[in-house]
Structure 1
Amino acid sequence: MSEPSAGSEHAAPPENLVVWADGRLVGPGDASLSAVDHGITVGDGVFETCAVFDDHAFALTRHLRRLARSAAGLGLEAPDEVLVRDGVAQVLAEARTRADAGGGEVGRLRITVTAGIGPLGSGRTPGAQTVVVAAGPAKIVAHGRAVRSPWTRNERSAVAGLKTTSYAENVVALADAVAKDGDEALLANTAGELCEGTGANVFVERADELVTPLLSSGCLAGITRELLLEWADEEGLPVREARPGELPFGVLDEVTEGRANLLLTGSVRNVQPVTWLDGVALQAGTVSLAARELFERHRRERLDP
């Protein structure tokens, strides 16, 4: 949560933010969760963020599938998919109504599921989960600016590869990148391999192909990453997962030296060539640009691939 601006009692919520919590639409500033919800006290929850195109949550089925995998990884019961889809439908319908009345369009949708009301410590109290769906504005930018993070991703963590609400590491790493004029931080894992960004998967372009770290590196199994690999395979574009040991973190030196290129993928970034790394201006790679074009074409044709 950001600090209130100077001279104001509370920070204003973002424009056209639509929120649905446990079965009803609520205002962004309404009290709608318990103060002892386990998602608030210890970050015991999972979430998904979808891009919104043409009033639809893109690749919603895949996102819900990953939401269930993350919940299982935390030891939570599977989220009620019917309830979640109902929340998504209500939020997007309300967003459309507001847009038609002159409000701005929404571009992203977030689904959050927590363990519900629980103790102040790490233990859980069995009970109903908390489900929140929210939609708000988003801007897709054509190019990315990345910074090498001084921190690492623990590929052997209990939550490695899970999309959980325990996001403090990502918040700190991203803030560091922004302070250095970037918009994403790139992390190594504890083995010194290139892993991922705070909210994006990473691909390295060299020898006329795009290569992305293996999931065993500790990176998230990104939906955009997954679709790019599938769609590139359909069309014969050279995009693949790395071989073990192929992408050490030092490969980023090749990028700043102009011998390789970099690409980020994510649910709001889509497929985004990186044109700035650690203060060095870069060229977008040929395969990276082709991958962006391929993804944009397919996502317009397949809203729930």
Structure 2
Amino acid sequence: MKTMFVVNGKLVSMKQATLSLMDRGARFGDGLFETLRVEKGVPLFLEAHLTRMEEGAKHLYFAKIPRHEEWIEGIKGVIEANRVTAGYLRLNLTRGQGGFGVPLLSLSDPVWWVEAHHHILDPKRYDQGIRAITVSIRKNPLPPLSRVKSLNYLESILAREEAVIEGAEEGIMLTPEGKLCEGASANIFLIKRGALHTPSLASGPLPGTVRTWVIQQAMDLGIHVEIREIDPEEWHEAEEAFFTNSTWGPFPCVQIGEQILADGKPGWMTRTFMDAWKKAVEEEIQSSPL
């Protein structure tokens, strides 16, 4: 079966899906993207992702972006055309064509497309957890780029590659000052003495949709939450650690470098959030208008 895409509102095959060599997304990384999970044919927490895309476009001075309704129609189209029941969506937006010196607000012909791909989650990641290492790549904590999912994703790509070379599943990036920031593809949480700790946005992590959900869930459960600057040495004091992203939700980290956490198994608080996430996903599926 051919993989189909929606490009600027039109359903096309991969051969028909073209991008100009003058597109600013290809030339300068001038654009945004969002990735979100699909379960039972439903894109999870779609409004949160569309809102972040819209806010990112404002930060980057986009003159024009697709309306929510256009994204939603495109999403419906690719999920149905590719028959994706379990997988992921990627929403892509570039500023369109234009040279380096062109005033940004004069560029009002953006290019956008939607992809839907099959992807089954491996239960071993939840049951056994992953190993992470600290990588040499430092994350720029300053806005606006730390607040958006820019098409220029080289920091994360290089961090991920460094982790893979060292036999780890996730690379932890620090700030230039050596503070904890985030994983190459996920936000990070530590559990110390029954409290939940995560780097503040001032340290440069992406304001992840699942990060926001975990923080709210913790407060609803009466778990003390500390959102602050974190020294990497603090994970030596941690009983548990886990990562979050929109594809996997919360997933456990049982080893950072050579340090084993929670006896090498997912801890009770991590499991609490994973169980709550499963319920939230089911509720999202049941309430989805799509």
Q: Which residue of the partner structure matches residue 248 of structure 2?
A: 269
Identity %: 25
Give 1:249 deviation, angstroms.
2.0
* CA shift digits 1:63-91 (9 cap, x unpaired): 00000111111111352222111111111
Question: Secondary structure of 1:250's partner?
Answer: helix
Q: Distance in 2 between matches of 1:207 and 1:280?
A: 17
SS of residue matched to 2:145: coil
Q: Distance in 1 between matches of 2:63 and 2:277?
A: 33
Query: What is aligned with 1:102?
Result: none
Aligned-partner Cα distance in 1 for 2:27–2:224: 41
1:70 and 2:70 aligned:
no
Bigger mean CA deviation after superposition, 16-25 or 216-225:
16-25
Alignment-mate amino acid for residue 131 of structure 2 = R
Give secondary structure in 1 for the equivalent of 2:155: helix
- Over residues 196-234 of structure 1, what are the superposed CA-to-partner deviations in whole Å (9 max), with x where a residue is unaligned? 112110000110122111111111110011112222322
Offset of residue 117 of structure 1: 1.2
Which of 18, 21, 29 aligns to 1:32? It is 18
Q: Is the 8 A contact 1:146 1:277 kept in 2?
A: yes
Partners of 2:157 and 2:130 in 1: CA distance? 18
1:16 CA displacement: 7.2
| Residue 211 (structure 2) aligns with | 225
Q: Say if 2:144 is the partner of 1:170.
A: no
Taking the aligned partners of 1:148 and 1:16, their CA distance within structure 2 comes to: 40
Query: Which whole-Å CA distance do the structure 2 matches of 1:200 and 1:55 have between them?
Result: 23
Q: Contact conserved, 1:224 with 1:271, CA < 8 A, in 2?
A: yes
- Structure 2 residue 267 is the aligned partner of structure 1 residue 295: no
Decide which moves more: 291-300 or 26-35.
26-35
Work out the CA distance in 1 between the residues paired with 2:259 and 2:221: 32
Q: Distance in 2 between matches of 1:29 and 1:241?
A: 49
For 1:27 and 1:21, the matched residues in 2 are separated by 10
**CA shift digits 1:163-210 (9 cap, x unpaired):** 110111111111111111122111111232211112110000110122
Identify the match of residue 92 of structure 1 among 68, 79, 89: 79
Question: Does 1:57 pair with 2:36?
Answer: no
Give, as a single letter, the amino acid of the residue that structure 2 aligns with 1:91.
V
Whole-Å separation in 2 of the counterparts to 1:184 and 1:177: 6
RMSD: 2.1
**1:151–1:187 Cα contact (<8 Å) kept:** yes
C-alpha spacing 1:239/1:269, structure 2 compared with 1 (3 Å): farther
Mapping of residues 7-26 of structure 1, within 5 Å:
17-26=3-12
Q: For residues 187 and 25 of structure 2, what CA distance do their matches in structure 1 show? A: 25
Counterpart in the other structure of 2:236: 253
Q: Which structure dedicates a bigger proportion of its chain to helix?
A: 2
Change (3 A) 1:164 1:207: same
Deviation at 1:269? 1.8
Change (3 A) 1:75 1:184: same
Distance change in 2, residues 1:18/1:260 (3 Å): farther
Q: Which residue does the alignment assign to 1:130?
A: 111
Corresponding residue pairs, total: 276
Counterparts of 1:17 and 1:293, CA distance in 2 = 33
One of 94, 102, 115 as aligned partner of 1:114: 94
- 1:29/1:172 CA distance change after superposition, 3 Å: farther
Residue 62 to residue 169, structure 1, CA distance change in 2 (3 Å) = same
- Report the AA paired with residue 126 of structure 1: L
| CA drift at 1:157 | 4.9
Q: Which amino acid aligns with 1:293?
A: D
Question: Partner amino acid for 1:195?
Answer: C
Change (3 A) 1:117 1:302: same
